[in-house]
A and B are shown apart, each in its own frame.
Chain A
Amino acid sequence: MSQSDDKGFKADATPTPAGEAAAELAATAEEASQPEKRLSPFRRSPSLLVGTIIVAFFVLMALFPQLFTSGDPYALDGSQMLLPPSADHLMGTDNFGYDIWTRVVYATSLDLIIGVASVSLPFVVGVLLGLLAGYYGGKLDSIIMRVLDCFVAFPFMVLAIAIVAILGSGVRNLIIAMWVVSWPEYTRLVRAEVLVAKQSEYVQAAKTLGYSDLRIMFRHILPNVISSSVVYAASDVVMCIMTGAGMSFLGLGVPQPTPEWGAIISGGKSFITTAPWISILPGLMMAVVGLGLSLVGDGLNDLLRTKD
């Protein structure tokens, strides 16, 4: 389905079947010749368009699963165990007789929620801390960075597993674990850029104009340092979905029989030689979501990056 969307875009955005890089070049050249004419964001960044289409497809699937399948994700059929993909069962069935496609479709909303919820709070908190640490420097910076060091001293997954082990498994605790482990990256990204921006003459100029620190931080520095974090956040959503799936795979995430991509993949691990579709096809779905979000991140990067 996403493939046909892809074709539709190509016919629409670029007259010749040129590669993505060529399309991007053309867009910049066009912009340079007529600076005042604002192109739509999708025309300026083809990857944003493709990414948005893919993500929109999955959002639709999350909101209206019944449009994509008529089955019931909890319906067991003992006579239909371990069947390969067919017209009746698009992704085959597993050892309990669950229809995998149906379960994958119904799992979309949960996995997207895990991804987005895990990223949003660390994004806001991480960016704010990075801004404060970079702008004020000195003791505040030292305190924030030393606390951050404590968090990054542990490998990402190990810390997440430890937190879930303490709090207990479940979606809520999984998201809390993600919050704890993923904010430092935003703080580091923003802080590094603030340190550079703080020295720039436009910030000095803002200071000589007597603007308050808050105004300088949020109106003059933040818009110029946020882009890398936005781009990172888009790919971080994928990372969090992956980690969530990984936790389910280890039995620490979503309890059975709730449909969740990691849990489905995990369920197929005993049958990987006899019924490989159980793990591989849901895995492919995850890969496509990841591709879509990465393309969105890439596209945002194209748009947010300033030209000089």
Chain B
Amino acid sequence: MSQKSQGSVLLEVDDVSKEFPLKYGVVDAIAKRPKRSVKAVSNVSLQIREGETLGLVGESGCGKSTLAKTIIGLLRPTTGRVVFAGQELTALNKDQLRESCKSIQMIFQDPYSSLNPRMTVRQLLREELLYHKVVPEDQVEPEIEKLLKLVGLDVVLADRLPAAFSGGQRQRIGIARALAVRPRLIIADEPVSALDVSIQAQIINLLIDLQEQLNLAILFISHDLRVVRYISDRVDVMYLGSIVESGDTEQIYETPAHPYAKVLLDAAPSMSSDAVLETEAAVLGELPSPIDLPSGCPFHPRCPYADERCKTEVPRPRQVGTDHMVACHYPLTY
């Protein structure tokens, strides 16, 4: 799969941070409390090449969805740049962003709330095709048929409301909606976590097929490590708003270098019979609050290998193999 990684860089996220200021009331001002904020994403950099799938994994609340929304323009980053196909999205104003955002589309997590309950599939796709003038008006109906066929839905279903569909079918509609404007990058934010396992495989395979047919790049966000391994060419592991390890999927799964990545992978249930949870694999404590980030390495309060240096010094990302980066002072396997 790694031969796909040879394409040119399509999306570049450069040192992006996103903070949400907390409510600062009159009482806080009188008490002269410092202004506080939730640091959802801090200094994240990543790259996606044309036609490749990048998996983004991490536990709930680590900033994966915030990062996705920042890339797609639903949120503005506090600092940093998002560059897509040579164009700096973060420098565009609202109207310019509206025009360019067609090239990046999103597949949402919850198929039950991601479709307008009062629009039939046909109305939904029709509005989109006409609004962006994807095809001439007389070509809209054939285009709708083509899109539905592409995602494996029967055209006779086009005049039904979302309530008439199952979760898997709705997710297919969501994919058709994302594809209608002919994007080059799809951000799939936990696209299968709300679906039954049997349906998950169908949707994942559909995404892989579509990627090959249409040369799509995919940013695949999930907490399900098996699914990520199956679909991704490269993987980024996120912890508390930072990317702690990134690289080729197999390398990371076989030889994780960051203690957090190792814990995450060991904690995933395995099909093999000798899978016994090692005692050292258990993570200590709870995820720290993103309001008061730990000093130094964000993982040090829970890391079994942490020492004084980890408490004070933020680890810089460093190369530990071909296409394998880790942000840790003491990488495990090297």
Q: Which residues of A line the B interface, CB within 8 A?
A: 35-36, 200-202, 204-212, 215, 219-220, 223-224, 306-308
Instruction: Evaluate contact between A207 and B114: CB separation under 8 angstroms.
Output: no
List CB contacts (< 8 Å) of B49-75 with chain A.
69, 72-74
22 A-B pairs (CB sep. < 8 Å): A35-B164, A36-B159, A36-B160, A201-B108, A204-B108, A204-B114, A205-B106, A205-B114, A205-B174, A206-B116, A208-B104, A208-B106, A209-B101, A209-B181, A210-B99, A211-B131, A212-B98, A220-B116, A223-B118, A224-B117, A306-B117, A306-B118
- Expressed in whole angstroms, the Cα–Cα distance for A202 and B104 within the complex equals 16
Say if the beta carbon of B242 comes within 8 Å of chain A: no
Contacts of A206 in B (CB 8 A): 116
The 8 closest A-B pairs by CB, nearest first: A201-B114, A210-B98, A201-B108, A306-B117, A202-B116, A223-B118, A201-B113, A35-B164
- Expressed in whole angstroms, the Cα–Cα distance for A102 and B167 within the complex equals 60
Contacts of A202 in B (CB 8 A): 113-117
Instruction: Evaluate contact between B117 and A308: CB separation under 8 angstroms.
Output: yes
Say if the beta carbon of B184 comes within 8 Å of chain A: no
User: What is the distance, in angstroms, from A137's C-beta to the closest C-beta of chain B?
Assistant: 14
Which residue on chain B has the smallest CB distance to residue A226? B118
New contact pairs (7) apart from A201-B114, A204-B74, A206-B116, CB-CB < 8 Å: A201-B108, A201-B110, A202-B115, A204-B69, A207-B74, A209-B132, A307-B163
Instruction: Evaluate contact between B177 and A205: CB separation under 8 angstroms.
Output: yes
Which residue on chain A has the smallest CB distance to residue B156? A36
User: What is the distance, in angstroms, from A207's C-beta to the closest C-beta of chain B?
Assistant: 6
User: What is the distance, in angstroms, from B2's C-beta to the closest C-beta of chain A?
Assistant: 30
Which residue on chain A has the smallest CB distance to residue B100? A210
Instruction: Evaluate contact between A200 and B74: CB separation under 8 angstroms.
Output: no
Instruction: Evaluate contact between A308 and B160: CB separation under 8 angstroms.
Output: no
List CB contacts (< 8 Å) of B109-124 with chain A.
109-110, 112-119
Known: A200-B113, A201-B109, A306-B118. A209 touches B74 (CB 8 A): no
Contacts of A208 in B (CB 8 A): 72-74, 101, 104-106
Which residue on chain A has the smallest CB distance to residue B110? A201
- Expressed in whole angstroms, the Cα–Cα distance for A223 and B124 within the complex equals 14
Instruction: Evaluate contact between A219 and B127: CB separation under 8 angstroms.
Output: yes
User: What is the distance, in angstroms, from B221's C-beta to the closest C-beta of chain A?
Assistant: 14
- Expressed in whole angstroms, the Cα–Cα distance for A308 and B97 within the complex equals 33
Contacts of B143 in A (CB 8 A): none
Interface size class of B (residues with CB under 8 A): 35 or more
Contacts of B177 in A (CB 8 A): 205, 209
User: What is the distance, in angstroms, from B162's C-beta to the closest C-beta of chain A?
Assistant: 8
Dominant SS among interface residues on chain B: mixed
- Expressed in whole angstroms, the Cα–Cα distance for A201 and B69 within the complex equals 12
Interface string of B128-144 (1 = CB under 8 A from A): 10011000000000000
Instruction: Evaluate contact between B160 and A35: CB separation under 8 angstroms.
Output: yes
Contacts of B163 in A (CB 8 A): 306-308
- Expressed in whole angstroms, the Cα–Cα distance for A220 and B124 within the complex equals 10
- Expressed in whole angstroms, the Cα–Cα distance for A220 and B72 within the complex equals 20
Say if the beta carbon of B102 comes within 8 Å of chain A: yes
Contacts of A200 in B (CB 8 A): 113-114
Contacts of A35 in B (CB 8 A): 160, 164
- Expressed in whole angstroms, the Cα–Cα distance for A215 and B119 within the complex equals 14
List CB contacts (< 8 Å) of B125-179 with chain A.
127-128, 131-132, 159-160, 162-164, 174, 177
Which residue on chain B has the smallest CB distance to residue A205? B114
- Expressed in whole angstroms, the Cα–Cα distance for A220 and B114 within the complex equals 12
User: What is the distance, in angstroms, from B89's C-beta to the closest C-beta of chain A?
Assistant: 12
List CB contacts (< 8 Å) of B165-201 with chain A.
174, 177, 181
Contacts of A219 in B (CB 8 A): 127
User: What is the distance, in angstroms, from B75's C-beta to the closest C-beta of chain A?
Assistant: 11
- Expressed in whole angstroms, the Cα–Cα distance for A209 and B74 within the complex equals 11
- Expressed in whole angstroms, the Cα–Cα distance for A257 and B293 within the complex equals 77
Which residue on chain A has the smallest CB distance to residue B131? A211
- Expressed in whole angstroms, the Cα–Cα distance for A53 and B9 within the complex equals 67
- Expressed in whole angstroms, the Cα–Cα distance for A36 and B73 within the complex equals 38
User: What is the distance, in angstroms, from A132's C-beta to the closest C-beta of chain B?
Assistant: 18
- Expressed in whole angstroms, the Cα–Cα distance for A36 and B159 within the complex equals 9
Contacts of B116 in A (CB 8 A): 202, 206, 220, 223-224
- Name B108's contact: one of A205, A209, A210 (CB within 8 Å): A205
Which residue on chain A has the smallest CB distance to residue B187? A208
- Expressed in whole angstroms, the Cα–Cα distance for A207 and B72 within the complex equals 10
User: What is the distance, in angstroms, from A230's C-beta to the closest C-beta of chain B?
Assistant: 14
User: What is the distance, in angstroms, from A306's C-beta to the closest C-beta of chain B?
Assistant: 4
- Expressed in whole angstroms, the Cα–Cα distance for A220 and B117 within the complex equals 9
- Expressed in whole angstroms, the Cα–Cα distance for A123 and B69 within the complex equals 35
Interface-central residue, A201, A215, A224, by most chain B CB under 10 Å: A201
User: What is the distance, in angstroms, from A280's C-beta to the closest C-beta of chain B?
Assistant: 45
Contacts of B117 in A (CB 8 A): 202, 224, 306, 308
- Expressed in whole angstroms, the Cα–Cα distance for A88 and B113 within the complex equals 62
- Expressed in whole angstroms, the Cα–Cα distance for A307 and B117 within the complex equals 9
Contacts of A307 in B (CB 8 A): 163
User: What is the distance, in angstroms, from A303's C-beta to the closest C-beta of chain B?
Assistant: 12
- Expressed in whole angstroms, the Cα–Cα distance for A89 and B169 within the complex equals 66
User: What is the distance, in angstroms, from A113's C-beta to the closest C-beta of chain B?
Assistant: 32
Interface-central residue, B106, B116, B131, by most chain A CB under 10 Å: B116
List CB contacts (< 8 Å) of B261-303 with chain A.
none
User: What is the distance, in angstroms, from A33's C-beta to the closest C-beta of chain B?
Assistant: 12
- Expressed in whole angstroms, the Cα–Cα distance for A201 and B181 within the complex equals 18
- Expressed in whole angstroms, the Cα–Cα distance for A223 and B118 within the complex equals 7
- Expressed in whole angstroms, the Cα–Cα distance for A308 and B163 within the complex equals 6
User: What is the distance, in angstroms, from A189's C-beta to the closest C-beta of chain B?
Assistant: 18
Contacts of A212 in B (CB 8 A): 98
- Expressed in whole angstroms, the Cα–Cα distance for A79 and B168 within the complex equals 80
